[in-house]
Amino acid sequence: MDVTIDIKTFFVLLVLIALVVLIIYGIILLRRLLVTVDHANKVLEDVEVISAIAATRSEDLDGIIDNVSSATTELSDAMSGGSFITAVSSVAKSAASIKGILSPEDDIETRAAKRSEKKSERRRKKRSEK
């Protein structure tokens, strides 16, 4: 028994097989796409809840900032003249100078001398190792 297929019929069968494979591939792709859309919808619902929470918190913070601003304005009005600020800065400067007097280790010249001493000590060690 001989079966003969002409080229036209062969290509028609080949196109039909490719079409069936393409339809199956499309069905699989659509199924995965539906799962992806479901996940995206869940994420968007979470984002909506979080953005609502953030909006309410920002409104609360706006009120708090208004209260702090008014308190700062009242405080600056109470300390008018700037004498209080200069007094505080002079106390801070005097505390820094007392600290400098009590800790001579922080002197710039002392630190520079210690660094040069350490460098010369390293050089001596390198020379002795050679």
pTM: 0.41
Angle at 105 between CA 101 and CA 110, to 5 degrees: 110
Q: What is the CA radius of gyration of the chain?
A: 41
Q: What is the mean pLDDT of residues 78-91?
A: 63
Query: Which token pair is 115?
Result: 């660094």
Share of the chain above pLDDT 90, in %: 34
Residue spans per domain, the chain:
7-78
List of E strands, 34-77? none
Least confident of 3-12, 35-44, 74-83: 74-83
Q: What is the mean pLDDT of residues 102-118?
A: 66
Report which of residues 3 and 102 the model is more confident about: 3
